[in-house]
């Protein structure tokens, strides 16, 4: 009987984790560049039950039983979000649609080969340097200029250029008079190249990234590698736009209700076991 309690309790914990993930998606539905997160659950290893109280010669197998589920991880969906025009010269949006030869990615951005090998669609990111000097990646392109001319992200991280250094605009040059070319170079209104180029990084497997907050990502392991995008890749940066979050509001509402119903179902199971234990202890035990 207690095994059932543990199984139902694990289900409640897993659904609480799922509920928290969905509510986080909903709360960031208007955050530029936010990528939806899905909670992945799996069952504990199955146990093979056998009848007890009998000798080896009379042993009888009952069958397999799982002992519950747990929230294994949260996966980000790095699909392109819609663009929203802001007409703000310090706003930038990435359009990333990187192809691989002979591979057709599905709607979730992955391809499963006949032999079962999974390939994820590479994604492009703005490249940042945080206050600790470590490299970070983001799709949130709401930037600003400091008084010293440094291009910064919303959390105070420096935006990097192709030279690997924080971008610094010439003195007295604001973003309102700068235009971004197709190769991510900043030019003055008269077409003069000011020698500043955005570093757009390509990450072949975006699932190697983990969230750090404020729309930033980092590699989960030290062997993660990001390379500058090639000139022929289908990546574009648009000035005066931001990328909306890719959260599906309708699906999020369905997932929220589903998690709530599953939580309530596990709760009812625990209440049933509680009533059964109460009867066993107070009524049957009295006899």
* Residues 168/172/173/177 CA torsion (nearest 10 deg): 160
Give the Cα separation of 144 and 210 in Å (integer).
25
Contact 187, 178 (CB under 8 A): yes
Identify the H or E element spanning 270: helix 249-279
Give the Cα separation of 281 and 287 in Å (integer).
10
Domain coordinates of the chain in residue numbers? 2-76+248-284, 83-243
Please give the chain's pLDDT, 287 residues, in tens. Answer: 577 788 888 888 999 999 999 999 999 999 999 999 988 887 777 666 666 665 556 667 777 767 777 777 788 889 899 999 999 999 999 999 998 888 889 888 888 988 888 899 999 999 999 989 899 999 999 999 998 999 999 889 999 999 999 999 988 888 888 899 998 999 987 788 888 999 999 999 998 899 988 889 999 888 888 999 988 888 999 999 999 999 999 999 999 999 999 999 989 988 888 888 888 777 765 65
Largest CA distance in the chain: 97
CA–chain centroid gap for 62, Å, is 41
| Residue 190 three-state SS | coil
For residue 246, give both structure tokens: 């890719």
Phi, psi of 236 (to 5 degrees): -140, 145
């Amino acid at each position: 009987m207690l095994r059932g309690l543990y199984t139902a309790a694990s289900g409640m914990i897993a659904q609480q984790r799922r509920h928290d993930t969905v509510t986080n998606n909903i709360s960031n539905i208007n955050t530029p560049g936010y990528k939806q997160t899905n909670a992945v659950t799996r069952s504990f290893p199955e146990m093979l039950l056998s009848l007890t109280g009998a000798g080896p010669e009379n042993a009888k197998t009952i069958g397999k039983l799982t002992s519950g589920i747990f929230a294994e991880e949260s996966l980000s969906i790095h699909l392109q979000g819609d663009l929203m025009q802001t007409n703000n010269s310090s706003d930038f949006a990435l359009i990333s649609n990187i192809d691989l030869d002979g591979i057709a990615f599905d709607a979730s951005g992955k391809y499963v080969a006949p032999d079962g090998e999974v390939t994820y669609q590479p994604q492009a990111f703005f490249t940042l340097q945080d206050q600790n000097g470590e490299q970070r990646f983001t799709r949130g392109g709401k930037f600003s200029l400091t008084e010293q001319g440094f291009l910064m992200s919303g959390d105070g991280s420096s935006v990097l250029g192709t030279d690997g250094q924080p971008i610094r605009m010439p003195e007295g040059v604001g973003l309102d008079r700068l235009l971004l070319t197709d190769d991510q170079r900043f030019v003055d209104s008269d077409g003069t190249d000011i020698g500043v180029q955005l570093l757009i990084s390509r990450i072949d497997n975006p699932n190697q990234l983990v969230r750090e907050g404020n729309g930033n990502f980092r590699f989960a392991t030290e062997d993660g590698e990001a390379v500058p995008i090639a000139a022929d890749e289908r990546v574009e940066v648009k000035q005066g736009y931001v990328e909306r979050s890719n959260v599906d509001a309708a699906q999020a509402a369905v997932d929220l209700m589903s998690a709530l119903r599953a939580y309530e179902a596990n709760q009812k199971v625990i209440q049933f076991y509680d009533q059964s234990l109460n009867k066993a202890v107070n009524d049957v035990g009295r006899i």
